A and B are shown apart, each in its own frame.
Chain A
Amino acid sequence: MITTDILIIGAGPTGLFTVFEAGLLKLKCHLIDALPQIGGQCSEIYPKKPIYDIPAYPEILAGDLSDKLMEQIKSFEPTFTLGERADTIEKLEDGTFIVTTNKGTKHKAPVVAIAGGLGSFEPRKPPIEGIANYEDKGVAYMIKDPEVYRDKKVVIAGGGDSALDWSIFLTDIAKEVTLVHRRNEFRGALDSVDKVQELKDAGKINLITPAEVTGIAGENKVEGVVITKKGEEQYTLPCDNFIPLFGLSPKLGPIGNWGLEIEKNAIVVNNALDYQTNIEGIYAIGDVNTYPGKLKLILCGFHEATLMCQSAYKRIHPGKKYVMKYTTVGGVQGFDGTKKEAPKAVIKAIN
């Protein structure tokens, strides 16, 4: 069991900055994120794109913003559960919470801050009739263990890097690799596109373009996929596995079932007080929340995180008095023993 003061769900910019504001109040944080890396949308969707409305940064790349935030919170020693999705929450009698991930990792904290952005990033599932019935019976939306495909006939669909890279990788393992893409052009890294061309010419990858997989055939498991090419007759291509790789998209997911008030695909909070939800002790900050006048901006997430931490402090230390202190005055005392502080004024007499 991982225990902490504030359990943050979502390691995007808002979640990361929460660690700093909590640290100033001597509260420790642990973060859970479904993605294998920190940064949330900033690292998953647009790491190389510039942001122009972070105060005092006329321009900063989204990926660099994540790096800077990590640097800023380093001394507060945040800990992480990455690549796992927060699935269930349980409120104990003493008011603390247990959050369990899809992999069974348990976390305990008196305060939960949902900084989940647009939700957890899940593979995009193509709208093929009955596809859900074949999940884990030959259909997979991500490749966890390539050995599963040894000596199998595999069909991959998609035109991005993961479709290309896995097609290349599986040629050494699978009996047969077919890549189906709707266009003749691929948008993956040039190296990968060239490599697929090479493997196609060598007869190691069966490339079907422009085409789509529009159906799945088989009794209880995948035995073939239906290939549709414009202007041609559909046909069924025999195979053992079908792997649609169309990237990730965010879904609110299991958090939607935690008993929180949801509106417009976001969690309703008490406007501008402390961003607490309808469940005491659970806060929602950043893009994941909604209230009258809400703006989904990183800078608004930072503000919400700051107010939320003050409220969390009062919840964790109900008897203690505290007034907010400027970092310029109080400095930043890390949990790792480091201390940053403004240089003291020097007084010297002139004789």
Chain B
Amino acid sequence: MENNDITLNITDREGVLHTIDAPTDMAMNIMEVVRAYEIAPEGTIGICGGMAMCASCQCYVTSDHELPEKEDAEEAMLAEAFHVEDNSRLGCQIPITPELDGLAITLAPEEL
């Protein structure tokens, strides 16, 4: 069977690096991959379910992969989110595609 997985390097909120395989053929996004691997505790990520309406899946992109442009909803949410940096993205708005192989991200701190 053809292997549709790519490798992601995700640093969790405690600073621990997780190198994981993510499927490109399951219509998943980065937030969902983080949840599937329980890299952040359930209930602290993907709170709005992936509608770009909370910022619980905010992450910092630390590799120089070309990512899809931010749509208005993501821009708007990042304008209101906390701990935002220039490389901030919402994980729920980034689909897992073959181009992202080797992507490195760090999860932003949880909002308290």
| Contact of A118 (CB < 8 Å), options: B47, B83, B84, B111 | B47
- Give the A-B pair count, Cβ closer than 8 A: 53
Whether the pair A182, B84 counts as a contact (CB closer than 8 A) is yes
Whether the pair A127, B48 counts as a contact (CB closer than 8 A) is no
**Given A187-B76, A264-B41, A127 and B51 touching (CB < 8 A)?**
no
B28 within 8 A of partner (CB): no
B44 within 8 A of partner (CB): yes
**Which A residues lie within 8 Å of B80 (CB)?**
158-160, 182, 246-247
Whether the pair A46, B53 counts as a contact (CB closer than 8 A) is yes
B49 to chain A, nearest CB (A): 8
In the docked arrangement, what's the CA distance between A250 and B49, Å? 13
Whether the pair A124, B111 counts as a contact (CB closer than 8 A) is yes
Whether the pair A181, B79 counts as a contact (CB closer than 8 A) is yes
B82 within 8 A of partner (CB): yes
B54 within 8 A of partner (CB): yes
**Given A182-B84, A264-B42, A49 and B51 touching (CB < 8 A)?**
yes
**Which A residues lie within 8 Å of B82 (CB)?**
124, 126-127, 246
**Which B residues lie within 8 Å of A41 (CB)?**
48
**Which A residues lie within 8 Å of B75 (CB)?**
185
**Which B residues lie within 8 Å of A266 (CB)?**
42-43
**Which A residues lie within 8 Å of B47 (CB)?**
118, 249-250
B112 within 8 A of partner (CB): yes
B71 to chain A, nearest CB (A): 12
Interface residues of A (CB under 8 A from B): 41, 45-46, 49, 118, 124-127, 158-160, 181-183, 185, 187, 246-247, 249-250, 252, 264-266, 296
